[in-house]
């Protein structure tokens, strides 16, 4: 399968395949696929000839750079026009969302834009035998469609957000953030936290808490919870278990033991931590990212067993707090390249079907880095993805939300990580977050949205992604979320 690439009507001689992956009709990314650019085309080779689509970071004039998919298309010798297929997919998504949301009236007077986009696409289809002209028309169609799709998602979100607010549908602790324990002693840090949030998440890293087997260092967590324990705030903690290298103690990585022993040690660690803080923690992130991060190459059955054991350990240690299973990379791009991983929906469905006792799922959702799962998505994709989780009979939390507040370098450069309309700045970050939060909280099954790093630092996943500067000065986004919280509980 090949896709010919055009920019401004001309065939390109080179193209950066940022975030590129193939996916099937079920939306699951395809393993053992090879994607390369040569001779003006993106050449996609996969292990079977089934219908498939391509997703990659794509530039849109006046809108930015967004990770966008094509439709799923059958194998053929003649190259597809990538510009046309991406526009086709966006128009199909708009049509499907309007039907699902019963949006058949005017969207903020944007029907002219919707019609223009459709007419341009029809012209592009009619000119497929002239690929350069067709690509130019498709680009114009996509530009209009992106504007329309964003307004559609924002209007849907605002309408349901306002309805939920009027019905007092937001619970205590629905807005939160993750704190940095190293900044807790810094003057004004805790006060900044409490200005905008009624919930905080205290990180727990097995590698730090148990640096030597059987020897625990709780000083950092103790300090955080001591400072927070006197405040009227919902306290979350975790993840208790995360099987990525940086979250696992060296002694365990070197031990060379089998699954049964690892499960036993993990159970003991969770029990120890929960028993110590059961009286002050309201929510436990029992396990995080095991769908994507699997340092020990657990099998499918072992992944489910470890998930079950983590939640059992929380309850057995005497805590009646909410137990949350956190899912990384909700679009599942990692599945194409990470062995012994499970697509997000498959993992969540199997956890539910297995009878594991827990209370909620959480989705990590951050953007702004040239890394699998962190390329920027548009608002309609985000809203559509969240709707897919509605049938799962568990509440949903959105965690680690982050986007940049200024241009970055290397993997954080917007040209390879994603841009929203123009280069990231503090105003752009603030506007994006306001739209994102209203869309996420418009979903009745979403109980909470938690930001990632409160303040800029050297350890954040997304460079310059904090709501505060490194000197704890508030950015526009901090004030935006502060106003949003006040609006949510305005009587």
Is the same domain home to 184 and 257? yes
Report pLDDT digits (tens) over 426-446: 999 999 999 999 999 999 999
Q: Tell me the CATH number at 320.
A: 3.20.20.80
Query: Which of 104, 139, 162 corresponds to the end of one domain?
Result: 162
Q: Considering the chain, what is the average pLDDT of its residues?
A: 94
Q: Identify the pLDDT of residue 114.
A: 86
**Can you tell me the mean pLDDT for 450-459?**
90
Highest mean pLDDT of the ranges 185-194, 361-370, 457-466:
361-370
Is the same domain home to 248 and 359? yes
Q: Identify the pLDDT of residue 312.
A: 97
Is the same domain home to 323 and 182? yes
Strands 360-366 and 322-327: parallel
Residues 81, 132 contacting (CB under 8 angstroms): no
Is the same domain home to 344 and 371? yes
**Residue where the block lists tokens 């924002």:** 154
Q: Identify the pLDDT of residue 157.
A: 95
Report pLDDT digits (tens) over 313-354: 999 998 899 999 999 999 999 999 998 999 999 999 999 999
Q: Identify the pLDDT of residue 106.
A: 59
Report pLDDT digits (tens) over 116-166: 999 999 999 999 999 999 999 999 999 999 999 999 999 999 999 999 999
- Read off the DSSP letter of residue 447: E
Query: Which of 162, 187, 218 corresponds to the end of one domain?
Result: 162
Is the same domain home to 195 and 320? yes
Is the same domain home to 39 and 67? yes
Is the same domain home to 357 and 403? yes
Report pLDDT digits (tens) over 64-115: 999 999 999 999 999 999 999 999 999 999 999 989 988 766 556 678 888 8
Is the same domain home to 225 and 158? no
Is the same domain home to 203 and 305? yes
**Can you tell me the mean pLDDT for 297-302?**
95
Tell me the pLDDT band of 9, cut-offs 50, 70 and 90: confident
Query: What is the token pair recorded at 417?
Result: 């990580």
Percentage of the residues of the chain whose pLDDT score is greater than 70 = 99
- Say how far apart CA 207 and CA 269 lie, in whole Å: 11
Query: Which of 142, 162, 182 corresponds to the end of one domain?
Result: 162
Report pLDDT digits (tens) over 43-64: 999 998 889 999 999 999 999 9
Range of the structural domain that residue 117 is part of: 2-162
Alpha helices in 167-280 (DSSP H): 189-196, 206-209, 219-229, 250-255, 259-277
Q: Identify the pLDDT of residue 195.
A: 86
Say yes or no to pLDDT of 231 above 90.
no
Ordered strands of the 2-4 beta sheet: 34-38, 41-45, 2-4, 80-81
Report pLDDT digits (tens) over 357-377: 999 999 999 999 999 999 999
Residues 284, 332 contacting (CB under 8 angstroms): no
Is the same domain home to 410 and 371? yes
Is the same domain home to 80 and 209? no
Is the same domain home to 139 and 287? no
More confident position, 305 or 39:
305
Say yes or no to pLDDT of 491 above 60.
no
- Say how far apart CA 6 and CA 425 lie, in whole Å: 29
Q: Identify the pLDDT of residue 414.
A: 95
Name the domain count of the chain. Answer: 2
């Amino acid at each position: 399968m090949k896709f010919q690439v055009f920019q401004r009507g001309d065939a390109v001689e080179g193209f950066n395949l940022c975030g590129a992956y193939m996916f099937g009709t079920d939306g699951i990314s395809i393993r053992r696929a090879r994607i390369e650019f040569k001779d003006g085309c993106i050449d996609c080779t996969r292990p079977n000839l089934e219908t498939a689509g391509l997703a990659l970071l794509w530039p849109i004039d006046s809108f930015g750079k967004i990770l966008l998919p094509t439709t799923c298309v059958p194998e053929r010798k003649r190259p597809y026009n990538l510009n046309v297929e991406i526009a086709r997919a966006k128009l199909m998504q708009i049509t499907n969302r309007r039907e699902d949301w019963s949006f058949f009236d005017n969207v903020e007077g944007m029907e002219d834009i919707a019609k223009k986009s459709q007419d341009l696409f029809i012209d592009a289809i009619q000119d497929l035998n002239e690929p350069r002209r067709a690509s130019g028309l498709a680009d114009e169609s996509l530009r209009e469609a992106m504007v329309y799709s964003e307004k559609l998602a924002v209007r849907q979100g605002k309408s349901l957000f306002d309805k939920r607010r009027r019905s007092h549908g937001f619970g205590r602790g629905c807005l939160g953030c993750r704190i940095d324990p190293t900044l807790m002693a810094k003057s004004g840090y805790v006060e900044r936290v409490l200005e905008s949030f009624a919930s905080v998440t205290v990180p727990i890293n097995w590698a730090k808490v148990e640096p030597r087997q059987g020897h625990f260092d709780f000083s950092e967590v103790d300090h955080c919870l001591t400072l927070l324990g006197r405040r009227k705030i919902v306290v979350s903690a975790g993840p208790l278990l995360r099987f990525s290298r940086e979250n696992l103690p060296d002694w365990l990585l070197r031990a060379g033991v089998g699954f049964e022993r690892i499960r036993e040690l993990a159970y003991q660690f969770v029990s120890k931590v929960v028993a110590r803080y059961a009286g002050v923690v309201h929510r436990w992130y029992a396990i995080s990212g095991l769908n994507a991060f699997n340092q020990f190459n657990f099998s499918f059955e072992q992944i489910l067993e470890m998930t079950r054991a983590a939640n059992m350990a929380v309850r057995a240690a005497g805590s009646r707090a909410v137990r949350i299973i956190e899912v990384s990379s909700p679009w599942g791009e990692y599945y194409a390249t990470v062995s012994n991983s499970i697509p997000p929906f498959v993992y969540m469905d199997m956890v539910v079907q297995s009878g594991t006792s827990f209370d909620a799922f959480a989705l990590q959702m951050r953007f702004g880095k040239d890394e699998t799962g962190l390329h920027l998505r548009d608002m309609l994709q985000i809203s559509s993805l969240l709707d897919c989780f509605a049938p799962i009979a568990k509440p949903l939390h959105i965690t680690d939300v982050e986007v940049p507040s200024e241009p970055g370098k290397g993997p954080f450069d917007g040209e390879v990580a994603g841009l929203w309309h123009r280069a990231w700045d503090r105003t752009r970050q603030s506007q994006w977050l306001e739209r994102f939060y209203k869309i996420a909280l418009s979903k009745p099954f979403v109980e909470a949205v938690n930001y990632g790093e409160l303040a800029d630092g050297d350890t954040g996943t997304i460079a310059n992604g904090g709501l505060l500067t490194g000197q704890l000065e508030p950015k526009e986004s901090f004030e935006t979320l502060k106003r949003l919280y006040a609006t949510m509980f305005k009587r």
